[in-house]
A and B are shown apart, each in its own frame.
Chain A
């Protein structure tokens, strides 16, 4: 069994060399080709001086070559850091600097930006094109050296203090999920797996690695297709996608605007969703339209990857409440702790979900204190390995499934992405004219939440100026959807901003 992620590829390339590994519009790569190309690019990284444990950034949209880049970084013994090409330069510069990236792999469209980032980061930071045609290194195999506790990748998520934090994932943690997921979905070489999640989103660990584990084909969605539900439905049919994994909002759009009755999506045998709550009404609608598919709700923050799962049974009666997040995945230790420190063991009890086991992150990059706040000694057992406090409040239902109730802190989900409200507020406060600012989540069936900012300005400030300020510093999904101005922010008796009162107030027109 593989102990390093890249062995999934070398094993499958040996067993099924001619099976198609990745398909992306007209481009496709067999497992043998993916293996050879990633060997060459890995050698180019080594020639460039990349050493074991170094961070290699990937600034590219998801494509066949970016899959090559991921495996190349791993084969070079590096930890890869996928960067969001849609993020503003300031945020990317912060991540490149924070993680100490030594080489940036960029696709053609992002080569210019990558060079600017590299120059700003350090004189030693290099940019390499991930176009395989530009790589002349030998494609001979590289030895799989290293321990499974070394880092495989690092994913940056929103941080409450205004600075994104790098979640460190070891080979062992990644493989724990990858192996479990391939088995849970019963992936086979016949499968055609698609996830629209970009590389910097941990949902893509499934289609990049679990599909490879099983020798299945990863089918990459052309850009824009997921925006147009009718086209998405057509594409799923013509591409004969058998397994789909995404946030619920894409599926909600597909169910309500995809014109599915005109399609034959009988080949789609598993629909998996994660990242946020799937509104019951839309999930029921989709399940009615895809009666032959399994529906799986996966749950888990980036820090633990998927740790619980629930299979939604088809039923003649529509769902009326969000489905449970379910039961622990095999090998994962999941429990909830009540406010008085005991284990949630009976239906109806509430507590904070804790996760232990081999799937946990190694910590936040360069933030030992922040890591200690969330990787805590097991509150229910003496000694042993630390467990991760998710911040998610759950309860148990009558069937023994965990049910998500809400967050302990200021984190919300929008479009499946995590947003720390504090990070958006910090950015607002950076504007010289902003005196006070608060960001509130407005529940939205389609998006999970919209972000509503209430700003007190010391001087004349326009909505456009505030948005412009945010857009320069935050990824699109973190930019407030509405901006309101107020003379002052209401306070509670303890002097805190009264978020409840603000949330109840009717939002002013935008």
Chain B
């Protein structure tokens, strides 16, 4: 579910070339230029606000932002991360 929230944010706020839409979880975000330096700052702020975590500077590395999948994998690795609460049926 969180992947959809992140995908939606990036599609709405950061994508410059609509040809890349719809965004897949595996779409490269960095090599494709979807996320640039300003976009990265905004994405970090969004992730922190959205998921109630504080990203350490050492965690802001390309591996964690390569794709929506990569962002989700990073989030899951965080002990303080709780996946957004969703009704069971919405997850299906």
Contacts and interface: CB of A to CB of B under 8 A. Distances in A.
Interface of A: 86, 224, 226-231, 249, 253, 257-259, 415, 446-447, 464, 468, 471, 476, 479, 481
A231 B38 contact: no
A115 B41 CA distance: 35
Interface residues of B, number: 17
Interface of B: 12, 16-18, 30-31, 33, 36-38, 40-41, 57-58, 60-62
Nearest to B66: A224
Contact of A228 (B12, B17, B31, B61): B61
Contacts of B33: 86
Given A468-B18, A479-B16, A257 B60 contact: yes
B60 A471 contact: no
Contacts of B41: 446
A230 B17 contact: no
A230 B57 contact: yes
B61 A227 contact: no
B36 to A, nearest CB: 6
A471 B40 contact: no
Contact of A224 (B12, B57, B60, B62): B62
Contact of B62 (A228, A415, A468, A476): A228
A62 B37 CA distance: 17
Nearest to A196: B37
Contacts of B30: 224, 227
A471 B16 contact: yes
A415 B61 contact: no
A461 to B, nearest CB: 16
Contact of A258 (B16, B36, B57): B57
A476 B37 CA distance: 11
Contacts of B16: 471, 476, 479
Q: Which of B12, B18, B57 has the most CB of A within 10 A?
A: B57
Given A228-B61, A253-B37, 11 more contacts: A227-B37, A227-B62, A229-B60, A230-B57, A231-B61, A257-B60, A446-B41, A464-B12, A468-B18, A471-B16, A471-B17
A259 B61 contact: no
Contact of B58 (A226, A259, A446, A481): A259
Contacts of B31: 224
A468 B18 CA distance: 8
A230 B60 contact: yes
Contacts of A231: 61-62
B60 A228 contact: yes
B18 A257 contact: no
Nearest to B35: A227
Nearest to A260: B57
B57 A259 contact: yes
8 contacts: A224-B62, A228-B60, A229-B60, A230-B57, A249-B37, A415-B38, A447-B38, A468-B18
Q: Which of A226, A258, A468 has the most CB of B within 10 A?
A: A468
A229 B57 contact: yes
Nearest to B12: A464
B62 A226 contact: no
A289 to B, nearest CB: 13
B37 A226 contact: yes
Nearest to A479: B16
A339 to B, nearest CB: 37
A230 to B, nearest CB: 6
Contacts of B40: 227-228
Contacts of B17: 471
Contacts of A468: 18
A118 B91 CA distance: 50
Contacts of B12: 464
Nearest to B13: A510
A475 to B, nearest CB: 10
Contacts of A224: 30-31, 62
Contacts of A259: 57-58
A107 B71 CA distance: 31
A347 B78 CA distance: 56
Q: Which of A226, A258, A259 has the most CB of B within 10 A?
A: A259
Nearest to A414: B38
A230 B38 contact: no
Nearest to A446: B41
A150 to B, nearest CB: 36
B36 A476 contact: yes
A230 B31 CA distance: 18
Q: Which of A224, A258, A415 has the most CB of B within 10 A?
A: A224
Contacts of B36: 227, 476
A228 B44 CA distance: 12
Nearest to A256: B57
A242 B17 CA distance: 38
Contacts of B18: 468
Contacts of B61: 228, 230-231
B48 to A, nearest CB: 13
Nearest to A259: B57
Sorted nearest first, the 7 A-B pairs with minimum C-beta distance are: A257-B57, A227-B37, A471-B16, A259-B57, A227-B40, A224-B30, A230-B58
A369 to B, nearest CB: 34
Contacts of B62: 224, 227-228, 231
A247 B38 CA distance: 14
Nearest to A231: B61
B17 to A, nearest CB: 7
